[in-house]
Amino acid sequence: MERILVPIDFSPESNHAMDLAYQIARKSDAKLILLHVIEHPTNQSFSALGDGLPADMENNLYILQLLKKVKEDLTEITTNSQYSDINIGYDIKIGNPYRSIAQSIADENVDTVIMGSKGSSGLDEVLIGSNAEKVVRHAHCPVITVKQKINITDIGEIVFASEFTETSEVIVAQLKKLQKVFVGKLHLVKINTPNNFQRDKDSKSVINQFVEKYNLENCTVNVFSDLTEEDGIIGFADDINADMIAMTTHGRTGFMHILSGSIAEDVVNHSKRPVWTYNIESK
């Protein structure tokens, strides 16, 4: 991890994400970039640290006052002696939160996003989802979502849930980086469901081939059964008292997204643990 982006809205969740990102940056000598997005009804997102606001916003007193306050708050954070041992900076964008985060990932050549997630349920989950879900679905780099304060030294048991058929060397390389950062043990698990059942013997054979092909170390091979993939992943993590869940996501949208659902997004929404995701279709 060399360039870490942390979307920050000063909520407890985003503060927890920033704290974890700081710990990782200090350990891996990465640059930490804080991003605050001021929402505005426009189709574009742009940096507020550039040439100033668009003409139609120059007289918007509220935006200007908010921008001044956010700059002061972020300057106070980035100049705090607590962070003097890392390379840290910030950016402020005005526009759509998801588009702004996506733009920053591209502009800053970010290789990891760490962001807070409050999760959602019921009607909110169906109708609007969350910015964290959108980033997980579309980001072209690994995303770690957190909901509570985490100490990097407390993450040692990492669940990696997969079918072990759609992986690639790029994805495995990212997984190995994750394992190295946290000095973690990987628990590879295939979830069996009534609609996607495979004999334990066959599942373990596929996982063992995966381990051998990619020379994985410090890992276990597991099969877990549940009614849905999401319940199985969270249930298995509960059973072994895991510290983090890692998985890939397909990034589908629209009708196909509704038909198949996104297991990764569901897990991000409902898991109490930090979740690492990587978009299969991004590479």
pLDDT tens-digit profile of 188-243? 999 999 988 889 999 999 999 999 999 999 999 999 999 999 999 999 999 999 99
The pTM assigned to this predicted structure is 0.86
Task: Report the alpha-carbon distance of residue 127 to residue 209 in Å, rounded.
Answer: 40
Region 5-21 average pLDDT: 93
Is 247 in contact with 274 (CB distance < 8 Å)? no
Place of tokens 């982006």: 5
Region of 21 on the Ramachandran plot (φ > 0 left; ψ -120 to 50 alpha; else beta): alpha
**Position 134 in a domain:** no
CATH number at residue 189: 3.40.50.620
As beta bridge partners, residue 87 has 31
Our count of domains for the chain comes to 2
**How much of the chain is in helix, strand and coil states, percent to nearest 5?**
45, 25, 30
Whether 163 contacts 39, CB under 8 Å: no
Please indicate, yes or no, if residue 158 is contained in any of the structural domains: yes
Query: What 3-state class would DSSP assign to 7?
Result: strand
pLDDT: which is higher, 122 or 12 = 12
Please give the pLDDT value at position 132: 74
Q: Hey, which residues does 88 pair with through a beta bridge?
A: 32
Question: Are residue 157 and residue 277 in the same domain, yes or no?
Answer: yes
17 and 75 within one domain:
yes
**Is residue 128 in a domain?**
no
Tens of pLDDT, residues 14-35 = 999 999 999 999 999 999 999 9
What residues make up the domain containing 87?
3-116
Q: Where are the alpha helices (DSSP H) in the chain?
A: 12-28, 61-78, 97-107, 122-127, 131-138, 169-182, 200-213, 229-239, 254-260, 263-270
112 lies in the same domain as 157: no
Alpha helices in 113-227 (DSSP H): 122-127, 131-138, 169-182, 200-213
Do 165 and 278 sit in the same domain of this protein? yes
pLDDT at 199: 92
